[in-house]
Amino acid sequence: MITQMQDFVAEQTAVLQDQMDKIRKESVETVREAVVGSAENLKALKSPVRTIARSTVKVTTVSQTAVASLIELQSDMLTSAISDAALRLERASRADNIIELVREQVEMLPATRARIVEDAQRAVTIFKHAGRDLRASPPTSMSASSRRQKRRFPK
């Protein structure tokens, strides 16, 4: 009876050992396949990463140029407003009566209006140029590489 139990245990041990060997072998193969697939996926990311980097540099350049132009515009607007205010004060100081003061201030309104319109047009021009520059960057290479990725990595 003890011999039969030992034989049974030995048989079961051999079966379990075979199963463990099979699991080990299959696990190693599965891991190898996953690692190879991951390596291929990482290699495939080179092109999209480069495309994104180039696009980012382009966007940074365009936005930096636009901001520099807007800061210059703001400086010009502030200088013009200060000059305009100084001129208004000079004219006000030379006025002999209230009627002359109001008339001289009203005479300056068209020039002020023209300055404000011109500044607004310059701002619009800056934004138009920035928009054109952004559209000039080639997004097609990014969309092509993302289409390749979708084909390569189905959900």
Mean pLDDT per 10-residue segment, the chain (155 residues): 77 80 76 77 80 88 94 96 94 91 92 95 94 76 48 45
Q: Which amino acid is located at 135 in the chain?
A: R
**Spatial CB neighbours of 104, under 8 Å, sequence gap ≥ 6:** 91, 92, 94, 95
Do the domain assignments include residue 24? no
**Which range of residues forms the domain containing residue 134?**
56-141
Query: What's the confidence (pLDDT) of residue 122?
Result: 95
> What is the pTM assigned to this prediction?
0.58
Do the domain assignments include residue 155? no
Do the domain assignments include residue 21? no
Do the domain assignments include residue 66? yes
Task: Compute the distance between CA of residue 130 and CA of residue 139 in angstroms, rounded to an integer.
Answer: 16
Do the domain assignments include residue 116? yes
Query: What's the confidence (pLDDT) of residue 106?
Result: 93
Do the domain assignments include residue 71? yes
Do the domain assignments include residue 51? no
Do the domain assignments include residue 29? no
**Total structural domains within the chain:** 1
